[in-house]
């Protein structure tokens, strides 16, 4: 399992709350198909946004990061209200 660290930064005013982080985790699980190999998701809020760690089953960090980026891009593009109003930063 490879941990992939991401940050979702608010594009609108206001800091996210714990309920938004929980709802976002639900959206991510809804998009976590078997080929994305997601084992676990952690999300915590901060004044800047939501910090996320995705634990991905992968042979390398590069593969895990690519899977995580596709998952996050799809989740943010889904139109789900919990996924709206954020921009994505992938930490290497």
> What's the confidence (pLDDT) of residue 49?
86
The predicted-structure confidence for 17-31, as pLDDT tens digits, reads as follows 788 899 999 999 999
The predicted-structure confidence for 34-76, as pLDDT tens digits, reads as follows 999 999 999 999 887 899 999 999 999 999 999 999 999 999 8
Give the structural domain span for 74.
2-91
Alpha-carbon span 45 to 22, nearest angstrom: 10
Alpha-carbon span 50 to 73, nearest angstrom: 15
CATH number at residue 73: 3.30.70.1430
- Report CA-CA distances (Å) from 73 to 1, 8, 47, 70: 21, 11, 22, 5
Start-to-end CA distance of the chain, whole Å, equals: 16
Does residue 15 have a pLDDT over 90? no
> What's the confidence (pLDDT) of residue 56?
97
Number of domains in the chain: 1
**β-bridge partners, 2:** 56
Model's pTM, two decimal places? 0.88
Look at residue 11 and give its three-state secondary structure: coil
């Amino acid at each position: 399992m490879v941990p992939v660290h991401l940050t979702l930064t608010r594009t609108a005013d206001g800091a996210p709350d714990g309920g938004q982080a929980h709802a976002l985790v639900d959206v991510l699980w809804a998009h976590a198909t078997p080929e994305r190999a997601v084992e676990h998701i952690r999300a915590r809020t901060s004044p800047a946004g939501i910090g996320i760690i995705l634990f991905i089953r992968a042979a390398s960090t590069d593969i895990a990061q690519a899977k995580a980026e596709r998952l996050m891009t799809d989740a943010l593009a889904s139109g789900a209200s919990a996924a709206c109003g954020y921009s994505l930063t992938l930490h290497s």
